[in-house]
Amino acid sequence: MRNFWANRRVIVTGGSGFLGRRIVSQLHELNASFVFAPRREEFDLRINQDAERMIDRSRPDLIIHLAAVVGGIGANRKNPAGFFYDNLMMGVQLFDLAYRKGVEKFVVIGTVCSYPKFTPIPFQEENLWDGYPEETNAPYGLAKKMLIVQSDCYRRQYNFNSICLIPTNLYGPGDNFDPETSHVIPAIIMKCLDAIEQDKEEIVLWGSGKPTREFLYVDDCVEGILLGAERYDESSPVNLGAGREIAIEELAGMIMKLAGYRGRIRWDTAMPDGQPRRFVDPRRASRFGFKAKTSLEEGLAKTIDWYRNNQER
């Protein structure tokens, strides 16, 4: 199936980001005939004319839509309107243009934030419609969720081929380590290594540490996305998961040990925990051959080493 890419022209929106850079690199290795990663400075995908100009210039056979405005709980609380509007407008307009311009296939990268707040464990794709998402990231999750609706509508009315893949929380070397917008793993890594450097006896982490999460190593996610693009042709959404649920307090202890930090954690329980539990059922993705390969310990060690060697603190 890897010959799938040989004669295809591909747009990867968000192709300069954490996940996108790896998708672009892998597509080159798979000998895609043309790979284009648009930059926001030239193509603002919230603006319909910019998105149309991008498609007209690139003439893609396939679009992988990664571009998104993302961030942790703090960023989502500060900018809910922006998270909703920007993600919705980028997605629905580009999706419609892809159909109207004759693109062969549109690959939507969704978010686990679209699931209802109290989804039974493990999250099954059918559960997506059983309630409202966790409040702190609901605007983002709902904006991305509308692309699942659009995929179903356009397939039924226009027979347009699109798929929706839902990765669980991503991490890995090159992640976003901005303290204002980072997610939990890079945030804890930063705090541990900064505390070592500054000889601090404690670090402060948000919430109670009791919620659980599942973390997918970025290179495994790349494999899942490309396998789905090659082999899956249905609008029913598909989880991409790693198969391990872990409490944030256990995760923090693991990072502290791997980073060599011997201090203590003070949990700031005045700050929100976010969704109580997150852990997805990966069985539907196994139908097209996806299974995560990287253990959490291995992935965390690689991420810590990358940050230690590449970031100025």
In the predicted structure, residue 313 carries a pLDDT above the cut 60: no
Instruction: Pinpoint the alpha helices (H) of 8-137.
Output: 18-29, 48-58, 73-78, 80-100
Give the model's pLDDT for residue 58: 97
In the predicted structure, residue 1 carries a pLDDT above the cut 70: no
Instruction: Enumerate the domain spans of the chain.
Output: 2-172+215-245+278-293
Best CA proximity match to 8, nearest among 45, 55, 63, 85: 63
State pTM to two decimals. Answer: 0.94
Token reading at 277: 């539990």
Q: Which of 140, 171, 232, 307 does the annotation list as catalytic? A: 140
Is position 171 annotated as part of the catalytic site? Answer: no
Cβ neighbour number for residue 180 with a 10 Å cutoff? 10
- Cα–Cα distances in angstroms (integers) from residue 295 to residues 210, 216, 246, 266, 312, in the given order: 21, 9, 12, 27, 27
Give the model's pLDDT for residue 184: 93
> Helix 80-100 and helix 48-58: axis angle, to 10°?
40
Give the model's pLDDT for residue 2: 66
Compute the radius of gyration of the chain from its Cα atoms: 19
In the predicted structure, residue 120 carries a pLDDT above the cut 80: yes
pLDDT tier at 283, thresholds 50, 70, 90: very high
CATH topology for 2-172+215-245+278-293 is Rossmann fold (3.40.50)
